[in-house]
Amino acid sequence: MGKLRKKIGLKFTTIVSYCFFIALFLAFAGLLQYLIVFNKLSEDIRNTAQYAVYVFIVVALIVTIAFYIKYKVNIPIAIYEEGIFMKRQKVSIMYSEISTYYFTPMSNNKIKNMVVEKMNGDRFVFDVSYVGEDFVEYFQKDYIVNFTEDVLEKLNHGYEIPFGIMTGKQKTILKVIGTKSMARNHNFTSEFIISKDFFKYDDKEYSWEDINIGYDVQTGNIEILDNVSNTMILTTYFTYVEKGEFSFNIMDYLVDEIKNNPKDNSMKSDNEDTNNSYEETNVEE
């Protein structure tokens, strides 16, 4: 699966600590109970000792429940250059198996959950408060590395690629409620489309040479501006868009390609000049 990026889960020292405290309280309870049963304690402290036994057992039970909850919540996950592996479930999610991924936002527009869907339809929800923001950064970076060339090749062959975008209602619901079940079952009801020649949103097409894309790394805010009419086409956050930064990385590439390689336009102008010269020559003759 390539180079290991990050491991997530309960540390060995944490597991040992929980087990030690559980064993310690049970040992105290067992020792006191032994002293009581075999009359090793005087009658005036025997009742107190019996209550202490119950307390130690209850404390051991509470620590055991806390450990169980922590164990269930802290799923061991490893992220690699080419995918994700969940050790306890023995499930791998290779980037080559992913059909899409998206985020659910918090009230401050940061990521609450990352949802990954495999080509077989299985969806996995990763709580960012648990896996960490660097987990998402590694994921997006490696996904971009793995798929950018493939998408650009498809665009060069005439494909039009849609990316879902959350509506205002969907944003509000996910921010206010946003359970893992809702995140897993989310479906985009709006989209924009990327092709080699244009960006399409709200049934309008914009040539790449006519738009400007601004992305604020600190806030995650994205603005797409129509340079011709000097109007805003779309303003959003990458957490509201299917595949997050990936689509905007592709768009940046297409805009830069037009700016840096205006070959088609220059060739067209040269051809027009040649044709005009030819026509003028024929007219003079």
Q: What are the pLDDT digits (tens) for 208-243? A: 999 998 888 777 888 999 999 999 999 998 889 999
Q: Spell out the residues 6+ positions from residue 33 whose beta carbon is closer than 8 angstroms to its own.
A: 53
Contact 74, 10 (CB under 8 A): yes
Average model confidence (pLDDT) across the chain: 87
Query: What is the spatial distance between Cα 123 and Cα 219, in angstroms, rounded to a whole number?
Result: 27
pLDDT at residue 262, as a whole number: 65
pLDDT band at 2 (very low <50, low <70, confident <90, very high): confident
Task: Give the type of residue at 283.
Answer: V
Burial 203-239 (b: 16+ CB within 10 A, else e): eeebebbbbebebeeeebebebbbeeeeeebbebbbb
Q: Is the pLDDT of residue 276 over 60?
A: no
Following CA atoms 268, 274, 279, 283 in sequence, which dihedral angle do they give, to the nearest 10 degrees?
150
Strands 204-207 and 211-215: unpaired
Average pLDDT over residues 103-126: 92
Classify residue 27 as left (phi > 0), alpha (psi -120 to 50) or beta: alpha
The residue count of the chain comes to: 285
pLDDT band at 275 (very low <50, low <70, confident <90, very high): very low
pLDDT digits (tens, 9 = 90+) for 138-167: 999 999 999 999 999 999 999 999 999 999
Q: Spell out the residues 6+ positions from residue 231 whose beta carbon is closer than 8 angstroms to its own.
A: 225
pLDDT band at 272 (very low <50, low <70, confident <90, very high): very low
pLDDT at residue 271, as a whole number: 44
Q: What is the 3-state secondary structure (H, E, C) of the chain?
A: CCCEEEEECCCHHHHHHHHHHHHHHHHHHHHHHHHHHCCCCCHHHHHHHHHHHHHHHHHHHHHHHHHHHHHHHCCCEEEECCEEEECCCCEEEEHHHEEEEEEEECCCCCEEEEEEEECCCCEEEEEHHHHCHHHHHHHHHHHHHHHHHHHHHHHHCCCCEEEEECCHHHHHHHHHCCCHHHHHCCCCCEEEEECCCEEEECCEEEEHHHEEEEECCCCCEEEEEECCCCEEEEEEEHHHECCCHHHHHHHHHHHHHHHHCCHHHHHHHHHHHHHHHHHHHHHHC
pLDDT at residue 266, as a whole number: 40
pLDDT at residue 278, as a whole number: 36
pLDDT band at 116 (very low <50, low <70, confident <90, very high): very high
Query: Tokens 């107190």 correspond to what residue?
Result: 48
pLDDT digits (tens, 9 = 90+) for 166-208: 998 998 888 888 888 999 999 999 999 999 999 999 999 999 9
Ranking 67-76, 250-259, 276-285 by mean pLDDT, the lowest is 276-285
pLDDT at residue 210, as a whole number: 92
Contact 33, 112 (CB under 8 A): no
Ranking 47-51, 84-88, 240-244, 270-274 by mean pLDDT, the lowest is 270-274
Query: What is the spatial distance between Cα 265 and Cα 197, in angstroms, rounded to a whole number?
Result: 13
Compute CA 47 distance to the chain's CA centroid, rounded to the nearest angstrom.
Answer: 57
Q: Is the pLDDT of residue 77 over 90?
A: yes
pLDDT at residue 283, as a whole number: 37
Query: What is the spatial distance between Cα 80 and Cα 75, in angstroms, rounded to a whole number?
Result: 16
Q: What token pair was written down for 210?
A: 């006519």
Average pLDDT over residues 107-136: 92
pLDDT digits (tens, 9 = 90+) for 32-59: 999 988 888 888 888 899 999 999 999 9
Q: What are phi and psi of 24, to 5 degrees?
A: -65, -50
pLDDT band at 277 (very low <50, low <70, confident <90, very high): very low
Q: Is the pLDDT of residue 263 over 60?
A: no
Q: Is the pLDDT of residue 261 over 80?
A: no
Q: What token pair was written down for 209?
A: 């040479």
Q: Is the pLDDT of residue 82 over 80?
A: yes
Ranking 14-23, 33-42, 172-181, 276-285 by mean pLDDT, the lowest is 276-285
